[in-house]
Structure 1
Amino acid sequence: MTEGAGPSVAARDDLAGVVDLFGWLTREELSRAVSELAFKRRAEADAAAIDDAIDVAVAEYALVPAPVEAVSTGGAGDELGEDDDFLAVGPAAFPSLPEGAADLPHILDVPDRDVDREVLSGAVLERLSADAVDAITESDAERLEVLADVTYDVEAWASVDAAPIRERIVAELDG
């Protein structure tokens, strides 16, 4: 990402750190958590900037959308809606906790949560493949470079083989 073009890698990794504290969060819960951290620092929370930072983290695979089949709560009777936007820590993240984040579990009061890494990694691999096809179709070399890096990250992060996706990306970049 170019300097001044958007949220920094540190911000992206801080978002991942907040999500990691809980296992997963909805987009709304993550936005609320970031707002709470801003409040603790006596700073203004810009909802649009928070949304942009989350969008960047998702685009760069620091956070990944988690299918409902991949997320669970420890609470009996907790219903997870198909329409909820679940986010989990992704393969490109180096989660870090921003100052004051240790208090978030008490502030947000969410139940214990788990992520089925096998289901999540399958969904991430499918998304990576679709994103690669889109970037190839759009001749977006910059996006392809990012996705090529993610293919290595995802293999270190989960027991998946991203080599076919990487080979297609590299062939496109070299072609």
Structure 2
Amino acid sequence: MADTKDELAGVVDLFGGLARDELEQALVELAFKQGDEVEREAVAVEIERAVEDYYLAEAEYAGDDAPGGGSEAPDSILVAGPAAFPTVPENGEDLPHILDVPDRELDREELGETVADRLYEEARTVAAAGDAERARELLDVSYDLEAWAPVEADDVRERLDRAFE
């Protein structure tokens, strides 16, 4: 199984994006290839932590190859996020041959705006709580976000400055 958040991002990056259940299945398959067993509940917790820390970003995806079959309502998929340095774990290169998941591409600007909105809301909460440690983490993410997608995060940094006051 992927041992780090960067490896989770690496698995997702192999496909351009994966639904949560697809990522869970990929990690189960990866663990099998590595001779390990993995509990889906533990995998779900690790995925959630990676999302919280911006190693994975969640986006709506309504393409014909969406996880739900391109239904009218968009599905949620995970992509490598702004804090990640995607790293393919051992045997990870085999996953595209094992899983029947199409490559997916998303509009990077739209995805960046989605992540920026989430980051701004979290910055607001952190600033109001005066949580300087989390504010430092989010400050780093704000710079990563600008390098990751064509968006500005000045308003996030302004909001985070209040946590340091």
Same fold (TM over 0.5): yes
Residue in 2 that maps onto 1:5 = none
Mapping for residues 4-153 of structure 1, pairs under 5 Å: 11-68=4-61, 72=63, 78-80=69-71, 82=73, 84-153=75-144
Residue in 2 that maps onto 1:170 = 161
Q: In structure 2, what is the Cα distance between the partners aligned to 1:132 and 1:82?
A: 29
Report deviation, 1:73. Answer: 5.1
8 Å Cα contact 1:61-1:92 kept in structure 2? yes
Q: In structure 2, what is the Cα distance between the partners aligned to 1:16 and 1:134?
A: 26
Label 1:123 to 1:100 Cα distance change in 2 as closer, same or farther (>3 A): same
8 Å Cα contact 1:20-1:88 kept in structure 2? yes
Gaps of 5+ in 1: 1-7
Question: 2:16 corresponds to which letter in structure 1?
Answer: G
Question: 1:171 corresponds to which letter in structure 2?
Answer: R
Percent identical: 46
Q: In structure 1, what is the Cα distance between the partners aligned to 2:72 and 2:10?
A: 24
Q: Secondary structure at the match of 1:86?
A: strand
Q: In structure 1, what is the Cα distance between the partners aligned to 2:11 and 2:71?
A: 20
Q: Secondary structure at the match of 2:105?
A: strand
Q: Secondary structure at the match of 1:98?
A: coil
Gaps of 5+ in 2: none
Alignment: residue pair count: 163
- Partner deviation per Cα, 1:6-40 (whole Å, 9 max, x = no partner): xx9x6100000011000000011001101111111
Q: In structure 1, what is the Cα distance between the partners aligned to 2:157 and 2:15?
A: 31
RMSD: 2.2
- The TM-score with structure 2 as length reference comes to 0.89
Label 1:141 to 1:82 Cα distance change in 2 as closer, same or farther (>3 A): farther
Q: In structure 2, what is the Cα distance between the partners aligned to 1:82 and 1:146?
A: 33
- Partner deviation per Cα, 1:85-126 (whole Å, 9 max, x = no partner): 311111111000001111111111112311111110110111
